[in-house]
Amino acid sequence: MTSPTTDSPTTDHPATNSRSAGSPDPALRLLAQLEEVVLGQETVLRQLMITLLARGHALLEGVPGTAKTLAVRALSRGLGLDFGRVQFTPDLMPTDLVGVNILSDSGFAWRPGPVFADLLLADEINRAPPKTQAALLESMEERQVTVDGRTRPLPGPFTVFATQNPVEYEGTYPLPEAQVDRFLMKIVVDYPPQEAEAAILDRHEAGFRADDEASYPIAEALERDALLAMRAAVNGVHMDERVRRYVTGIVRATRDDSAFVLGASPRAGVALFQAARAEAFLRGRDFVAPDDVKSLSFPVLRHRVVLTAEAEVEGRSSDEELRSLLETLEAPR
């Protein structure tokens, strides 16, 4: 597990007048409500929101019972969007996910699968066989599915939040590198601090139930139009050329680092660029600061690099090596 400070939000900078008409206020209000549902996981919730605003997908990894599914369910409750959930199992077929044409008296009728949702929770994604994971890959990258030679577009806000358990391997299939690379971020869900864990029991004593969305203290939903407006605003956040070169430098440095047998791809640079713009937007700025890039390098890159066998034997983690790498690179001022 990574330390709680690895992915901590960057320090605030003075806000400037936004270049776009969008405001982060609806997202910040929703975040505040989510923090009342999922206690002690503020960084996880913020990174989920960044993923949503950056029009990406996120992979949540943590041991059972750390509120991975609860976090996504609470987010879906706070969004005025269509929500779909799939429990991935070894016998899950591609048609169970994307849909199927069914023969009826009047011909073939299209029955869409749960992937045709604004927000899809892919629970325990690594339990599905490669063929089903390949079907999900097209929807994540192209935002469309192809069935029987016909391509069908997915909803505009389409976002995948997938969960996986890092300690249980029986009955699981490793995610292909091509699919892992499609996730904007890999969010590590650690144990909550002691105070939050105690407050969880207090919350259940007061009647909260994780399986009862009506008990979630979420009063205001973030509507589709507000989400789309904020996504457009994120695209208006400026990144100075020096900061863009900093992003490129970080990504390229992972390929030259002796601790990695595989470095990050150019797609990783695009992901870091867009995630940093979403973070700047949430902080009310119309420009990206180097600290935005540095703090988000961990969730954006940790699943895109592969440690050498020597580094793994020595017990080093991707986050530790990324931290060492970032210390060698000078950030623009």
* Domain 237-333 CATH superfamily: Magnesium chelatase subunit I, C-Terminal domain (1.10.8.80)
Strands 119-123 and 150-153: unpaired
Q: Angle between the 241-256 and 266-282 helix axes, to the nearest 10 degrees?
A: 140
Q: With H, G, I as helix, E, B as strand and everything else as coil, classify residue 307.
A: strand
Q: How confident is the model at residue 248 (pLDDT cuts 50, 70, 90)?
A: very high
Average predicted confidence (pLDDT) for the chain = 88
8: pLDDT strictly greater than 90: no
The whole-number pLDDT of residue 197 equals: 95
- What pLDDT is attached to residue 39? 95
Q: What does the chain come to in residues?
A: 333
pLDDT value of residue 59: 96
Question: At residue 21, does pLDDT exceed 80?
Answer: no
Domain boundaries, the chain: 22-235, 237-333
CATH number of 22-235: 3.40.50.300
With contact defined as beta carbons under 8 Å apart, do 38 and 45 qualify? yes
Bridge pairing between strands 79-80 and 222-223: parallel
Q: Once rounded to an integer, what is the mean pLDDT over residues 211-217?
A: 88
If we measure between CA atoms, which residue out of 262, 93, 95, 81 comes closest to residue 159? 81
Query: What's the rounded Cα separation, in Å, for the pair 179 and 171?
Result: 19
- For residue 170, what pLDDT is reported? 65
Helices marked H in 143-289 — which ranges? 177-180, 194-205, 224-234, 241-256, 266-282
Give the model confidence (pLDDT) of 27-57 as tens digits. 999 999 999 999 999 999 999 999 999 999 9
pLDDT at 251: 97
Structure confidence at residue 168 (pLDDT): 64
The residue type of 257 is D
Q: Identical fold at 22-235 and 237-333?
A: no
CB-based contact 6:300 (threshold 8 Å)? no
Of 194, 196, 180, whose CA–CA distance to 140 is shortest? 180
pLDDT band at 15 (very low <50, low <70, confident <90, very high): very low
With tokens 């409750």, the residue in question is: 77
CB 293 within 8 A of CB 326: no
Give the C-alpha separation, 114 to 84, whole Å: 5
**Confidence at residue 286, expressed as pLDDT on a 0 to 100 scale:** 94
DSSP 58: E
DSSP state string for 19-55: SSS--SHHHHHHHHHHHHHSTT-HHHHHHHHHHHHTT
Give dist(CA 122, CA 97) in Å, integer.
Answer: 10
Residue 2, pLDDT above cutoff 50: no
Which tens digit of pLDDT belongs to each residue from 151-192?
999 988 899 999 998 776 666 777 878 888 999 999 999 999
Asked if residue 174 lies in contact with residue 159, where contact means CB atoms within 8 angstroms, the answer is no
* pLDDT, position 3: 42
Residue 5 has pLDDT above 60, yes or no: no
Higher per-residue confidence, 259 vs 333: 259
Q: Which residues pair with 58 in a beta bridge?
A: 161, 185
Q: Which amino acid, 233?
A: A
Reported as a single tens digit per residue, the pLDDT across 74-123 is 998 898 888 889 999 999 998 999 998 888 777 788 889 999 999 999 99
Residue 133's pLDDT band, with cuts at 50, 70 and 90, is: confident
Per the CB < 8 A criterion, the answer to whether 160 and 140 are in contact is: yes
Specify the amino acid at residue 76: S
Residue owning tokens 């994604």: 125
Q: What is the pTM of this model?
A: 0.88
Q: How far is residue 26 CA from its own chain's centroid?
A: 19
User: What are the φ/ψ torsions at residue 241 (nearest 5 degrees)?
Assistant: -55, -40
Asked whether the beta carbons of 80 and 219 are under 8 A apart, the reply is: no
Number of Cβ within a 10 Å radius of residue 330 = 9
Which pLDDT does position 291 carry in this prediction? 96
Q: Are the CB atoms for 113 and 94 separated by under 8 Å?
A: no
Q: Which residue has the tokens 């935002």?
A: 143
pLDDT of 12 strictly over 50: no
pLDDT in tens, 262-311: 999 999 999 999 999 999 999 999 999 999 999 999 999 999 999 999 99
